[in-house]
Structure 1
């Protein structure tokens, strides 16, 4: 079966109840370009998800896969391209009869890989979700550092990072006092 013939959506009702179903999804150039735009990436050169879905009891499926991706993000400081190579494990447990939480405030389950059993497992959607979760949130180019921005109105002294840490100078002052003869607290008695 060629990559073009491989299904990207697997109907859970047609999966074998006794043996694992192996799959391989590889995003084509158009899919990668669209996903790169959605995720704000400069480029997405590779996105692949391969693994298996196996039965685990009567009403449960376990998906275990390997996500392989090559992406380029913009540095949060300089906007320079920052390459990222990802090799992540993806695991989901699909359980029949599991209710989807609803409402404004939802309590998170201890097992974040637990999902209600869907009618269809969308491999492309799963790969996109896994990629979004695996990408570095704040990519930085080598040597890129945030500088200090100092802003103030006319006639007002700017507030600096050092001024926001008023007790930082006390350690140095304590060191100076201890170095002076007769300057330490034990000499006061």
Structure 2
């Protein structure tokens, strides 16, 4: 497993269950470059996570916050750089009752109650939350202004998907054949 490109561990033992812990993460240029490389971004000019960790019932902790970022990705059509602005809410529940998704026994399957629930360990890694939230918020198919997808016929002389090997439409003559068959 590759190391996380950005980490900011918060020791659970140092958290006060009566008082929320506020934190703002703003990775420096080197950390942003590692994150950009890990997420296949062209550039990551800015990213911040404003978060609050609060105690929850049954020994759990909740991290809530807001992720804000400017990302540059290659256009899926032209590969030109496309800048996007991301502004997303973030929420993770760390519970001592959640099972570890990476069990020691091989082949065992673990079902998590929901995708926001994580097993509670000695640390809550807010930096890993930032990277994960950013990867989930990225546009799947960034497109430069004016970029158009290739024509459905394959463009530039390629036969359309409905043509057979000879370039003919397979059912083009069907209507004529049926008309001849029904003629007396």
Q: TM-score interval w.r.t. the shorter chain?
A: 0.7 to 0.9
Structure 2 counterpart of 1:133: 136
Equivalent-residue separation in structure 1 for 2:163 and 2:91 (angstroms):
47
Say how many residue pairs are matched: 158
2: CA distance, partners of 1:73 / 1:134: 13
Given the two structures, how large is their TM-score scaled by the length of structure 1? 0.73
CA distance in structure 1 between the partners assigned to 2:133 and 2:87 by the alignment: 11
The aligned runs of 1:6-21 (5 Å cut-off) are 8-21=8-21
Alignment of 1:43-62 (within 5 A): 43-62=43-62
Equivalent residue runs for 1:107-122 within 5 Å? 109=112, 111-122=114-125
Partner of 1:184: none
1:88 aligns with 2:88: yes
The within-5 A match list for 1:38-187 is 38-101=38-101, 102=103, 106=109, 109=112, 111-148=114-151, 149=154, 159-163=159-163
- Partners of 2:28 and 2:51 lie apart in 1 by 18
Match of 1:4 in 2: none
Between the aligned partners of 2:110 and 2:125, the Cα distance in structure 1 is 25
Deviation string, structure 1 residues 19-45 (Cα, Å, up to 9, x no partner): 211111111001011111111111101
Deviation at 1:99, TM superposition (A): 1.1
In 2, Cα distance between the equivalents of 1:58 and 1:147?
54
TM-score where L is the length of structure 2: 0.75
Change (3 A) 1:162 1:72: same
Superposition CA RMSD, Å: 2.9
Q: Which has the larger radius of gyration?
A: 1
2:163, 2:90 → 1: CA distance?
46
Kept after mapping to 1: 8 A contact 2:99/2:112 = no
Aligned to 1:77, the other structure's residue is in SS state coil
